[in-house]
Structure formats: structure tokens, C-alpha cells
Copies of this chain bind each other. A is one copy, B any other.
Amino acid sequence: MTPVTQKGSETRASILERAVDLASVEGLEGLTIGRLAAELRMSKSGLFAHFGSKQELQLATVGAAALRFRDSVIVPSLDAPEGAPRLRAMGDRYLERLGDYSGGCFWAATSAEYDDRPGPVRDAIAAALDAWLAELERQARIAGVDQPERFAFELYALVMGVNSRYRLSGDERVFGYAREALDRLLVELPGESG
């Protein structure tokens, strides 16, 4: 009988969970195998064996972060009907979850870190963010926005701006500013009930 869960994959999952949190704070380059192992009370070599190289660990971490983003932002927004309501839901979900993770947004931290470092890690980060932008664009098109790309960019800029300003200044008013701006973006859409 094949086991339902193997020990190894459980360990791997817990490593990646911690790795996403750590990388949100220290970056994917500052994420060190030794520190990660110490926090999980493992040996460096034992942890290392799961990935074979630091780059593979980084790529796996990006993948785990993408899954987490899907679970905590995308999936909870699927209740809202497509178009304007879902755009509002995704924006709100993102802003809500910002406070949950003490390290702030993984994508804000790592995309700024890797935007000038060519390679597979950068490509993986870029692909994940492009996918999110594409989904925003798709919903904006469904909502009847005239320029879906522009709309997606503005929503992205607003929520990332909240992360940036809130992390650095601690000023919670930026959440309100972004929600007001989001309202202004959405309110003029066809089929949006103010």
C-alpha cells in the first residue's frame, strides 16, 4: 500500500512554508540555508538534500509563494461574480492579507530584488506576477473597462504602494487611501452598483 503521506514531502512542505516567510523579510538572496535549517532545527545538509542547490530552493520557494497567493487572495475572491465585483474582492483580499504576514508581500520584496538579476529565479517571479496582472486584466475586460491593461496596472500599483508605504512608515491610513482610489476606479464601470 502506498503511503498517503511520506515523511520527506511533509518536511519539504514545512521547509518551504518557512522559506516563504523568511524570503519575504530577508529576500531570496538573504534567505540562507544555514539559517533556514537552524530555525527548523535541522542540519544544513539534511535540508540541502531536499533541493540539491540553493537556486532550486529559491525556485521551490517562489512556487510555494505562488500557491499561497492563490489560496489567500485568488480563491477567496472566487465567490464574487466575475468583473468589477471580483476586482474589488481581489484588491480587498490582498490588502486584508498584508497584515497577516509579518514580512509583508513576498512578491514586492522579491521582484524588487530580482528585477536586475537575470536567471531562472527572476523568470519565475516575473511569470507569477505576469499571471496576476493577466488575471486582473481579464476581469477588467469582463467588467467592461475601456483599457484593461491600464486598469490592471493601476490596481497593481495601488496595492503594491500600500505594501511599500505601510511597511516603511507604519501609517495605516494608506489602506484607506487605496480603497478610496479603488472605489474611484470601479465606480464608473457599467454594471457596478456604486
Residues of A at the B interface (CB closer than 8 Å) are 24-27, 29-30, 102-104, 108-109, 111-113, 115-117, 125-126, 129-130, 133, 147, 149-150, 153-154, 156-158, 160-162, 164-165, 167-169, 173-174, 176-178, 180-181
18 contacts between A and B (CB under 8 A): A25-B117, A111-B167, A111-B168, A112-B112, A112-B164, A115-B167, A125-B168, A126-B168, A129-B168, A149-B173, A150-B181, A153-B174, A154-B158, A157-B161, A158-B161, A160-B160, A160-B164, A161-B161
Q: Main SS of the interface on chain A?
A: helix
In the complex, the chain B residue whose C-beta lies closest to that of A181 is: B154
- Integer count of this chain's copies in the complex: 2
| A180 to chain B: closest residue by CB | B150
Bound-complex Cα distance A150 to B173 (A): 9
**Complex: A153 Cα to B29 Cα, angstroms:** 29
Q: A30-B29, A154-B158 are in contact. Are A115 and B181 (CB under 8 A)?
A: no
Q: How far is the CB of A127 from chain B (nearest CB, A)?
A: 10
Interface centre among A104, A115, A130 (most CB of B within 10 A): A115
